């Protein structure tokens, strides 16, 4: 059974989910860019399409990709830390289920050699990076992770306060990141 079919049939954390498992990913071994984010939100779960919400709209704006480019697997793979909607927390969604990444990421990424991996948010960054930096410090020093990784905050509207406090990110860092990204397309 190929890895994508196996992931789509996965129910390892079904007992911990508020809804039946519905793994969401977009993957091609040919993609030059790989996005690793948290887990699908409820709108993505309902549409069965990754980043199909306000966060996805902002992410596409940040990456300067239109919907067609973003949802073309040969251009961009999307592999969340948790493949299924984890449920609601007091503020936002619950963290991704911890079973998914250890179970599937290694095997999946063996078949792919992206030129750039974009790690979105704390969960993806903490899993893949070996430093002990906080998110803001990682973004201030984003070049330290080049050429393999690019780090981004989560584009959720819930992060508007952080974006206002850290206006340097969208004014200074994001344009530099966009240039790096464009060189990989």
pLDDT tens, position by position, 31-76: 999 999 999 999 999 999 999 999 999 999 999 999 999 999 999 9
| pLDDT digit string, tens, across residues 87-122 | 999 888 999 999 999 999 999 999 999 999 999 999
At residue 86 the predicted structure's pLDDT band, cuts being 50, 70 and 90, is very high
Share of the chain above pLDDT 70, in %: 99
Topology classification of domain 3-184: Uracil-DNA Glycosylase, subunit E (3.40.470)
Cα dihedral sign, 34-119-59-7 = positive
Residue 24, token pair as written in the block: 């969401």
Cross-strand bridge partners of residue 117:
34, 149
Residue 4 has pLDDT above 90, yes or no: yes
Q: What is the mean pLDDT of residues 166-173?
A: 97
Q: What is the mean pLDDT of the chain?
A: 95
pTM for the model: 0.95
pLDDT of residue 91: 84
pLDDT of residue 11: 94
Residue 1 has pLDDT above 70, yes or no: no
Rg value, the chain, Cα: 16
Separation between Cα atoms, residue 96 and residue 185, nearest integer Å: 29
Share of the chain above pLDDT 90, in %: 96
Separation between Cα atoms, residue 101 and residue 106, nearest integer Å: 8
Residues 6+ apart with CB under 8 A from 69: 75, 76, 185
Residue 176 has pLDDT above 70, yes or no: yes
Separation between Cα atoms, residue 44 and residue 84, nearest integer Å: 9
At residue 168 the predicted structure's pLDDT band, cuts being 50, 70 and 90, is very high
- List the one residue out of 13, 45, 55, 37 whose CA is nearest residue 125: 37
What is the residue extent of each domain of the chain? 3-184
Residue 167 has pLDDT above 80, yes or no: yes
Query: CA distances (Å), 128 to each of 134, 159, 166, in order?
Result: 14, 22, 24
């Amino acid at each position: 059974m190929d890895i994508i079919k196996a992931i789509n049939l996965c129910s390892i954390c079904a007992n911990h989910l508020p809804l039946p498992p519905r793994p969401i990913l977009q993957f091609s071994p040919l993609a030059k860019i790989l996005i690793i984010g948290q887990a699908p939100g409820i709108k993505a779960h309902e549409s069965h399409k990754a980043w199909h919400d306000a966060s996805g709209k902002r992410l596409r704006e940040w990456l300067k990709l239109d919907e067609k480019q973003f949802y073309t697997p040969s251009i961009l793979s999307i592999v969340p830390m948790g493949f299924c909607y984890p449920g609601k927390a007091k503020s936002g969604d619950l963290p991704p289920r911890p079973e998914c990444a250890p179970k599937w990421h290694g095997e999946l990424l063996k078949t792919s050699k992206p030129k750039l991996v974009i790690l979105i948010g704390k969960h993806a960054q903490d899993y893949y990076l070996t430093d002990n930096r906080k998110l803001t410090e990682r973004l201030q020093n984003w070049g330290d992770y080049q050429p393999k990784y690019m780090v981004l905050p989560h584009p959720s509207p819930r992060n508007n306060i952080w974006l206002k406090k850290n206006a340097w990110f969208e004014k200074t860092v994001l344009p530099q990141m966009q240039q790096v990204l464009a060189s990989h397309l």
